[in-house]
Amino acid sequence: MPGEFELIARHFAALTGRRADVVLGVGDDAALLDLPPGQELVATVDTLALGVHFFADCPPAALGHKALAVNLSDLAAMGAGPAWALLALTLPAADDAWLARFAAGFAALARSFDVSLVGGDTCRGPLAVTITALGHVPRGQALRRSGARAGDGVYVSGEIGAAGLAVRARRGEITLPAALATHAARRLDYPQPRVALGLALRGLASAAIDVSDGLLADLGHICASSGVGARLELARLPLPDGALAVATRESLVGSGDDYELCFTVPPRHEPALGALAASVGCALTCIGRIEAAPGLWLVDEAGQTRPAAQGGHDHFR
Amino acid sequence: MPGEFELIARHFAALTGRRADVVLGVGDDAALLDLPPGQELVATVDTLALGVHFFADCPPAALGHKALAVNLSDLAAMGAGPAWALLALTLPAADDAWLARFAAGFAALARSFDVSLVGGDTCRGPLAVTITALGHVPRGQALRRSGARAGDGVYVSGEIGAAGLAVRARRGEITLPAALATHAARRLDYPQPRVALGLALRGLASAAIDVSDGLLADLGHICASSGVGARLELARLPLPDGALAVATRESLVGSGDDYELCFTVPPRHEPALGALAASVGCALTCIGRIEAAPGLWLVDEAGQTRPAAQGGHDHFR
């Protein structure tokens, strides 16, 4: 079995191409990186751990993809362009074939967004992947959670709920029709970070967050940070085909792992969203509106309004 | 038991003060950071995992200190000033008292180097701490592993071997006299990153690395990166008082976890090191010299020269 340093050198070298702004990459005590002038550095870290964030049968390539994707999704929610990543990998054993597939999944996504791997660490233990993603945004132009104002439209990209359905199906709680099962598994294992959308929303959105804990919980974070409330119309939720045959809108609005963007847009900018959706190639759906008074309200299909039960993932509950 | 978000908010808020260059810290999808003009970003990541890097009886405050210290040590080895850190913490349970002590250890070291915690993630699992440290260095002035040239002096800061003695004592392999036991435990649990030394070595050292894998292995990394060899004089090693009563010089040169700096200095700059050692408050000892031919050679106390057995930590061997 090859040693740690060889493992890192072999598989990390294959992980991704090298950007011109990487002055010094993997192989020294630290990486040296060139941030373009006029930009703020954007930094985030997320861990995916076996049994908490993914199942034992998660394909290694999917894990490599997803561990990077969830971090790029955080950068997207800030309106930042991704640039560099650092990878801390805990493995039960140095399995060369496993690492090759993990690296392939990571590298494919990294290349598609021109992200360079610039640092790494490995150690032995229960499977877990911690990635730090670094990017940048022109000074003062980042999207924050705190800018939502009463009257702003509440939007979500793509569709909501498929990843949560896949989780419930893998736990044996529900059975999905074949087409939905395939679609949902793909959404759970290979989430696509909305990087282009995040960049395009700069100057338009008043607040943004990525949908990781569940749409309702994440919109709750925007409201809490902004000191506002929101009214969500369940009938407007963009759902996967066939989802309502196996789940309620109420459950889908609380399921996580979608990695779409939820964002708010002042009325004067809302007319621009049609062209923007076309240019970035994903649906943007208005699902509600921000209100001055704190509190999250759900309007059901019958037009009845009621307070939303707060929820979301919480690994320590 | 409080939830994840409350835990993070409560203990992370207490972790460290906030620098003026933190535009947006913990609490959004990512942090926004201001890199001073003319500087390169320096980034590194390291994981400490229970049973691999520390023992079950490691005090939480020491773990909080050490997890940050080993990363600041990497920045020091680049000649970089530390600025920001991101923390990914995997815990078996949300233990409030444990977290308070961990946070106190982290915060004390962070404050002493004016490091702001700007991001974090927690999840449930076997205890492990992954920290990404970010800092900066004036463009083109970073210390690398690759600059050592034949004739350069090989230096090490402080002393070597105490942390390795503490590891062997905790494993029951050796018994240390009381004073050495206390000293060695302190060195293992609370390593002091040589940040001031790293900054002072810019423009003087031709190469640098921090001593984490063991002096011999780390000097080997410098030689490999620089395409040179080195001759090490065992009699010159700066060792803890009493160390030679319980261990050989050969074993001490291979023991890790010291977090001193090993660096090479061209002869024309060596006269400056005396004043530099006084100004940064730590001993700097010349322990050998770089040679043109690859290979590491040990000169023993009797003046006999022999090839060094390569070694060092490797978590996958």
Note the pLDDT tens digit of each residue in B71-88.
999 999 999 999 999 999
Long-range contacts of A97-100 (CB under 8 A, 24+ apart): A98/A60, A99/A7, A99/A11, A99/A60, A100/A11, A100/A14
**Taking each helix axis from N to C terminus, what angle separates B96-112 and B60-77, rounded to the nearest 10 degrees?**
30
Q: Do B3 and A316 touch (CB under 8 A)?
A: yes
Rounded percentage of chain B residues whose pLDDT exceeds 90? 80
pLDDT of residue A3: 53
pLDDT digit string (tens) for A135-173? Answer: 999 999 999 999 999 999 999 999 999 999 999 999 999
- The verdict on whether residue B258 carries a ligand-binding annotation is no
Residues 212-231 on B with a CB inside 8 Å of A are 225
Closest partner residue to B45 among A77, A119, A209, by Cβ? A119
Q: Which residues of A touch B122 (CB under 8 A)?
A: 315-316
Domain covering A4-138, topology: 60s Ribosomal Protein L30; Chain: A; (3.30.1330)
> What is chain B's mean pLDDT, rounded?
92
Kind of pairing, strands B22-24 and B31-33? antiparallel
In 3D space, the residue among A190, A162, A307 whose CA is nearest the CA of residue A247 turns out to be A162
User: How distant is the Cα of B245 from the closest Cα of chain A, in angstroms?
Assistant: 32
User: How distant is the Cα of A225 from the closest Cα of chain B, in angstroms?
Assistant: 9
Is ipTM strictly over 0.90? yes
Q: Does A38 touch chain B (CB under 8 A)?
A: no
pLDDT higher for B26 or A224? A224
pLDDT of residue B315: 44
| pLDDT at A94 > cutoff 90 | no
* pLDDT-wise least confident of A42-46, A47-51, A158-162, B223-227: A47-51
* pLDDT-wise least confident of A12-16, A47-51, A191-195, B221-225: A12-16
| pLDDT at A1 > cutoff 50 | no
pLDDT of residue B13: 77
pLDDT digit string (tens) for A236-290? Answer: 999 999 999 999 999 999 888 999 999 999 999 999 999 999 999 999 999 999 9
Phi, psi (deg, nearest 5) at residue B301 = -60, -25
Tokens coding B275: 């004043």
Tokens coding A277: 């959706």
With a CB cutoff of 8 Å and minimum separation 6, the contacts of A101 are A59, A60, A61, A64
With a CB cutoff of 8 Å and minimum separation 6, the contacts of A56 are A50
Please check whether residue B293 is in contact with residue B229, taking contact to mean a CB–CB distance below 8 angstroms.
yes
Rounded percentage of chain B residues whose pLDDT exceeds 70? 94
Mean pLDDT, range A176-190, rounded to an integer: 96
pLDDT digit string (tens) for A226-246? Answer: 999 999 999 999 999 999 999
Mean pLDDT, range A188-206, rounded to an integer: 97
In 3D space, the residue among A93, A87, A101, A88 whose CA is nearest the CA of residue A124 turns out to be A93
Q: Do B41 and A40 touch (CB under 8 A)?
A: no
CATH 3.90.650.10 given to domain A153-307? yes
Residues 127-146 on B with a CB inside 8 Å of A are 128, 130, 132-135, 137, 139, 142, 144-146
Q: Where in chain B is the domain with CATH 3.90.650.10?
A: 153-307
Distance CA A16, CA A12 (A): 8
Residue type, A55: F
Distance CA A74, CA A87 (A): 16
The greatest distance separating any two alpha carbons of chain B, rounded to the nearest whole angstrom, comes to: 63
Report the chain A residue with the minimal C-alpha distance to residue B84.
Answer: A43
Please compute Rg for chain B using Cα positions.
Answer: 20
Q: Does B87 touch chain A (CB under 8 A)?
A: yes
pLDDT of residue A95: 84
- The verdict on whether residue B38 carries a ligand-binding annotation is no
Please check whether residue A277 is in contact with residue A283, taking contact to mean a CB–CB distance below 8 angstroms.
yes
pLDDT of residue B27: 83
Q: Which segments of chain A are extended strands (E)? A: 22-24, 31-33, 39-49, 81-91, 116-124, 128-138, 153-157, 207-210, 229-233, 261-265, 284-291, 295-299, 305-307
Mean pLDDT, range B41-68, rounded to an integer: 92
Total Cβ atoms within 10 A of residue A36: 10
pLDDT of residue B312: 47
Mean pLDDT, range B52-63, rounded to an integer: 89
Q: Where in chain B is the domain with CATH 3.30.1330.10?
A: 4-138
- What strand order describes the sheet that includes A284-291? A207-210, A261-265, A153-157, A284-291, A229-233, A295-299, A305-307
Phi, psi (deg, nearest 5) at residue B120 = -165, 160
pLDDT of residue A124: 86
Phi, psi (deg, nearest 5) at residue A95 = -100, 110
pLDDT digit string (tens) for B180-212? Answer: 999 999 999 999 999 999 999 999 999 999 999
Question: Which pLDDT band, with edges at 50, 70 and 90, does B316 fall under?
Answer: very low
pLDDT of residue B10: 80
pLDDT of residue A8: 63
